[in-house]
């Protein structure tokens, strides 16, 4: 079957084309040395930075941006989607449920470019006008300009984007918890909330973990929306800045590909872009495997999800 070969082909071809960038930089590819903006500018112009090869690149600010956005979004989505899934399977009265199911499907179906457009034209403006005071802007004005396209805006929109898949997987796992287990708990005089908390959620834990992993993969791969609202500057947001940290721009890996790609890219820029794609590909494959692995305990209960 061609599908099987396809994955192998994907890893091999992207790997071969990414190799120049990795081999020229070694492990410092993942390091934090120098300014990513200057490095890309040098590659586009074809003039190496003094003392370095043309392929000189250190991706840490981008990796850090990816980690920040992903972790914040997935953490928020985990809490809210679990609550929403409990609501959907346990508490929602019939009419509310009949509304909520299509709503979840709708949120999953909205194209990422529409989320990005709403983010850049509406959410970012609201954030800039209401949450970023002038004092805050001035406090970091010497390194970066705050304009509402930032870590918080990006993470919030990403949360909404990855929630549907998590709500869907979690609620179908909750719904497949054997009724007798919950009845057993109820027969012991435990109220519904504690039954859900101690029996249903605990049984569904592997499914929730799998959903979280899948959502992480989505968040990692989201390029267009993040290219539009995350600020588009490879700036390593610094947690030491206190709350201002939330309003600092970031640039995740996938968004970098969109922003640095321009028509006939070749040579060092292309190798660097391929190297970024390789990192994303390996992470996605790893997460696919992790999602499969964390789901295994469910089979013991005879719940296929």
Q: What is the Cα–Cα distance from 237 to 101, expressed in whole angstroms?
A: 37
The answer to whether 250 contacts another protein (rule: CB under 8 A) is: no
For 234, the token pair is: 């490879």
Instruction: Name which of 34 and 232 has its Cβ closer to another protein.
Output: 232
Tell me the closest approach of the beta carbon of residue 64 to another protein, in angstroms: 19
Please give the residues from 19 up to 48 whose contact with another protein meets the rule CB under 8 A. Answer: none
Tell me the closest approach of the beta carbon of residue 196 to another protein, in angstroms: 9
The residue assigned the tokens 């709708």 is 106
Q: Which of 77, 281, 294, 298 lies at the binding interface for another protein (CB under 8 A)?
A: 281
The answer to whether 263 contacts another protein (rule: CB under 8 A) is: yes
Instruction: Name which of 58 and 218 has its Cβ closer to another protein.
Output: 218
Q: Which of 63, 151, 154, 287 lies at the binding interface for another protein (CB under 8 A)?
A: 287
Q: What is the Cα–Cα distance from 179 to 163, expressed in whole angstroms?
A: 26
Please give the residues from 157 up to 196 whose contact with another protein meets the rule CB under 8 A. Answer: 160, 163-165, 167-169, 171-172, 186, 191-194
Please give the residues from 72 up to 101 whose contact with another protein meets the rule CB under 8 A. Answer: 80, 83-84, 86-88, 90-92, 96, 99-101
Q: Which of 37, 46, 102, 145 lies at the binding interface for another protein (CB under 8 A)?
A: 102
Q: Which of 277, 294, 298, 303 lies at the binding interface for another protein (CB under 8 A)?
A: 277
Tell me the closest approach of the beta carbon of residue 159 to another protein, in angstroms: 10
Q: Which of 280, 294, 298, 303 lies at the binding interface for another protein (CB under 8 A)?
A: 280
**11-19, 38-46, 51-59, 69-77 -> range binding another protein (CB under 8 A):** 11-19
Core vs surface per residue 44-56: b (16+ CB within 10 A) or e: eeeeeeeeeebbb
Residues 6+ apart with CB under 8 A from 211: 81, 165, 166, 169, 170, 173
Tell me the closest approach of the beta carbon of residue 297 to another protein, in angstroms: 18
The answer to whether 128 contacts another protein (rule: CB under 8 A) is: no
Q: What is the Cα–Cα distance from 90 to 28, expressed in whole angstroms?
A: 50
Q: Which of 20, 61, 65, 116 lies at the binding interface for another protein (CB under 8 A)?
A: 116
The answer to whether 122 contacts another protein (rule: CB under 8 A) is: yes
The answer to whether 293 contacts another protein (rule: CB under 8 A) is: no
Q: Which of 251, 274, 294, 298 lies at the binding interface for another protein (CB under 8 A)?
A: 274
For 161, the token pair is: 């984007």
């Amino acid at each position: 079957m061609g599908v099987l070969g396809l994955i192998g082909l994907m890893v091999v071809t992207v790997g071969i084309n990414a190799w120049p960038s990795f081999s020229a930089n070694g492990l410092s590819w993942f390091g934090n040395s120098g300014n990513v903006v200057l490095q890309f500018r040098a590659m586009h112009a074809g003039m190496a930075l003094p003392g370095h090869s043309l392929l000189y690149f250190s991706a840490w600010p981008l990796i850090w941006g990816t980690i920040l956005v992903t972790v914040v979004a997935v953490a928020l989505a985990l809490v809210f989607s679990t609550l929403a899934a409990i609501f959907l399977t346990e508490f929602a009265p019939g009419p509310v449920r009949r509304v909520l199911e299509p709503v979840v499907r709708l949120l999953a179906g909205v194209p990422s470019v529409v989320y990005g457009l709403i983010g850049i034209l509406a959410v970012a403006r609201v954030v800039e006008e209401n949450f970023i005071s002038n004092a805050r802007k001035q406090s970091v004005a010497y390194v970066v300009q705050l304009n509402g396209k930032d870590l918080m805006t990006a993470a919030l929109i990403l949360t909404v984007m990855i929630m549907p898949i998590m709500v869907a997987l979690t609620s179908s796992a909750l719904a497949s918890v054997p009724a007798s287990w919950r009845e057993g708990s109820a027969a012991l005089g435990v109220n519904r909330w504690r039954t859900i908390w101690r029996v249903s959620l605990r049984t569904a834990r592997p499914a929730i973990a799998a959903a979280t992993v899948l959502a992480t993969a989505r968040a990692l791969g989201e390029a267009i929306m993040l290219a539009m609202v995350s600020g588009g500057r490879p700036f390593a947001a610094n947690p030491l800045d206190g709350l201002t940290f939330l309003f600092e721009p970031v640039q995740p890996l996938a968004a970098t590909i969109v922003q640095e790609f321009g028509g006939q890219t070749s040579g060092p820029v292309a190798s660097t872009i391929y190297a970024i794609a390789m990192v994303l590909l390996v992470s996605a494959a790893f997460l696919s495997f992790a999602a499969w692995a964390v789901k295994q305990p469910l089979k013991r209960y005879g719940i296929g999800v």
